Structure formats: C-alpha cells, structure tokens
Amino acid sequence: MQTLPITAEDQRLIEAARDVLRRNFRPARHTVGAAVLTGSGKIYTGVNVEACGYGPCAEPIAVGAAFSNGETRIVAIVAVRRRGQEYPVLSPCGNCRQLVVDYNPEAMVIYSDNGAVCKAAARDLLPGAYISNFDDI
C-alpha cells in the first residue's frame, strides 16, 4: 500500500482534532477527537459520544457536522485520543473506514501504524470494500 508524507495541512488537521478533544475531554464520555477537511477547505471537528450500550465514534460526528453545514466532499480525516498529556493519532475502526469510502474513496486518512503517523487513500485502508452506490439513488 502506498502511503504519502504528512504535510503542513495534515498537521493543521491533526491539531484541530487535538484541540476539540482538549476542550471536550471527559473520561468515559468523550475520549476521541476527530477532524475532517472538506472540499471547501473548511475543517469540522467532533468528539465520540459514549452512552449505555453504544456511542458513535468521533469521525462520523465530525463528518455529520460538515454535512450539516452544507459540505458535500470529504478530502481528509484524522482521529486522536488522549494518552496522559499526549494526543496521538489513532487508526480508524472498520466502520469509520467504510464511512469515508462511502463518501469519497480517494479521501486521505491520517492514521497510526506502529506509532508512525501515516496517510493513505481510504480505499487502500479497506481492501475489498463494499461500494454503496448511494450516488445512484
């Protein structure tokens, strides 16, 4: 799989995810922050929501915030968590990978691979992904 170097714009996205988590961290409730870069160039953020039995990841919260504000295209996405005073980048779960593939298989996903921060197209992080064809509806 081809990975790409992390750019200054990627660092800005990572910092946005860290910032939303710093402001909203609450043990057992909000432990992951995410940021999504959209086609307009705006960044939208979100935190995970823990509830009894289930809670959505931070990535769909950030994506929902973007789409709720009229955005139509995901360009890049990242999630972070708190570890002590650090906010390392996380790898997205399978559901979040599928979410990004559904909206833009070419979107860049910033993720962690054995502690190294990497970036790759969403389609490369979910081989054999189900293609929804939502645009055909």
Taking Cα atoms as reference points, which of 66, 63, 64, 34 lies closest to residue 47?
Answer: 34
% the chain with pLDDT above 70? 95
20 and 33 Cβ atoms separated by less than 8 Å = yes
What CATH homologous superfamily does 8-126 map to? Cytidine Deaminase, domain 2 (3.40.140.10)
65 and 98 Cβ atoms separated by less than 8 Å = no
Give the pLDDT score at 41. Answer: 97
63 and 103 Cβ atoms separated by less than 8 Å = yes
CA 25 to CA 56: how far, in whole Å? Answer: 15
Chain segment 67-121, per-residue pLDDT in tens: 999 999 999 999 999 999 999 999 999 999 999 999 999 999 999 999 899 999 9
CA 92 to CA 109: how far, in whole Å? Answer: 8
Domains in the chain: boundaries: 8-126
Give the pLDDT score at 125. Answer: 94
Q: Which of 59, 71, 86, 106 is catalytic?
A: 59
The reply to whether 59 belongs to the active site is yes
pTM, to two decimals: 0.91
